[in-house]
Amino acid sequence: MVDIDHLEFGLETFGDIVANEDGSLQTAAQSIRQIVKEGQLADELGVTVFGVGEHHRPDYSVSSPETVLASIAAVTKNVKLATAVTVLSSDDPVRVYERFATLDALSNGRAQVMLGRGSFTESFPLFGYDLTDYDDLFNEKLGLYDLLRTEKPVTWSGKFRASLKDQEVYPKTEHGELETYIGIGGSPESVIRAVKVGYKVIIAIIGGQASRFKPYIDLYHAAAQQLDRPEFPIAVHSHGFIADDEDEALEVAFKNIKANFDRIGLTRGWAPMSREQFDGETKVGSFYVGTPERVAQRIARTIDELGLGRFDLVYGAGNQTAAQREHMIELYGGKVVPRVKEILAETAAVK
């Protein structure tokens, strides 16, 4: 049963370079300042969480999301500030803790860490890591981060960084710990790992029907109960675009999402996205595209079907204009989120 009163709605940007109205591209610096403006807008509209991704490549503007989030913290009051995701495998858990504890102080307790192994691999050679250690890096660093999160002296040793002995790490948070999610792509091993460390989970659903992830959600709840670990509402994130006109939404989304996925696919062996594939994703798959009513209906269906506690819409894929991005945020916070809650309340009333 969905807890409508505590349901959370987020927006995430991976930091795509923003387009000008004439089709030229803004600089990375201009795109970063645009993200700060969008975070402020999301807060004004009552969006629960605003997430910023980490990438180290030319088609994305943000390589240090905590710095961007700190700027957003200065112009917002309520929205939680998250990464989407922090690539823990190629980072230092001590520095991750310190940066987020600082962000937590600046935002009055609104920092949210989202840890991931990284679906992009540019950061590994950049910071001197071997991709053959992909799994071991994440597992080891997650273990250290888990100790740091207790905010007590840490004694630890591992393979990929210097050992620690009775080490205090600063600053401490005012609430005693950092809110932390683990981002997973949908493997049983990832689910069990998240359960064992006792963190919240957000599932990346970037293709196919959302219902195919139901077994992983069931596994999470069953494993948490069996292992006597904390059990939290599940979050998911998926791509989308919203406009006042259905045809406009579809055309803008197809142009930009296709360009984005095709560019990424060059290094991952994906075939170019066809219009048939895109249309399938917008009708029954994981692209939430259309008018506010259409998108609200599809999000509500996904939340109800999977029993979610949070839904994040990934916006701005490709090279959308600032006006397109901002209006989409206005429609999401002002129309889609209230309508989703209405639909879920109506659904609950007839069950």
**Predicted pLDDT at 219:** 97
pTM over 0.95: yes
Structure confidence at residue 164 (pLDDT): 98
Average of per-residue pLDDT across 47-63? 97
56-95 in b/e form (b: 16+ CB < 10 A) is beebbbbbebbebbbbbbeebeebbbbbbbbbbbbbbbbe
Binning pLDDT at 50, 70 and 90, where does residue 8 land? very high
E-assigned strands of the chain? 8-13, 49-52, 80-83, 86-87, 111-116, 154-156, 164-167, 179-184, 200-204, 235-242, 288-290, 310-314
Max Cα-Cα span within the chain: 60
Q: Is residue 22 scored above 90 in pLDDT? A: yes
Span 61-83, mean pLDDT?
98
Q: Grade residue 267 by pLDDT with cuts at 50, 70 and 90.
A: confident
The whole-number pLDDT of residue 310 equals 98
Confidence (pLDDT) at 56: 97
Domain ranges, ordered by start, for the chain:
4-350
Separation between Cα atoms, residue 278 and residue 283, nearest integer Å: 9
**pLDDT given for residue 25 in this prediction:** 98
Residue 272 pLDDT greater than 90, yes or no: yes
Percent of the chain surpassing pLDDT 70: 100
Tokens of 307: 């029993």
DSSP secondary structure, 10-65, as one string? EEEE--BPPBPTTSPBPPHHHHHHHHHHHHHHHHHTT-SEEEE----STTB--S-H
Give residue 100's pLDDT.
98
Give the pLDDT confidence score for residue 132 in this predicted structure: 96
Q: Would the pLDDT of 186 be above 90?
A: no
- Report the DSSP pairing between strands 111-116 and 86-87: parallel
pLDDT for res 1: 78
3 by DSSP, 3-state: which?
coil
Neighbours of 326 (CB within 10 A): 15
Question: What pLDDT does residue 307 have?
Answer: 97
Q: Which residues contact 29 (CB under 8 A, 6 or more apart)?
A: 61
Across the range 228-249, mean pLDDT stands at 97
Quick one: which of 290, 279, 197 has its CA closest to 246? 290
Confidence class of residue 185 from pLDDT cuts 50, 70 and 90? Answer: confident
pLDDT per position as a tens digit, 90-116: 999 999 999 999 999 999 999 999 999
DSSP per residue, 55-82: --STTB--S-HHHHHHHHHTT-SS-EEE
The pair of structure tokens assigned to 66 is 């905590």
Residues whose CB is less than 8 angstroms from the CB of residue 297 and which lie 6 or more positions away in sequence, other chains included? 343
Mean of the per-residue pLDDT values of the chain = 96
CB atoms within 10 A of CB 165: 9
Q: Binning pLDDT at 50, 70 and 90, where does residue 55 land?
A: very high
Task: Give pLDDT, residue 119.
Answer: 82
**DSSP character at residue 335:** I
Whether the pLDDT of residue 213 is over 90: the answer is yes
Q: What are the pLDDT digits (tens) for 300-314?
A: 999 999 999 999 999
**Does 268 have pLDDT greater than 90?**
no
What CATH number labels 4-350? 3.20.20.30
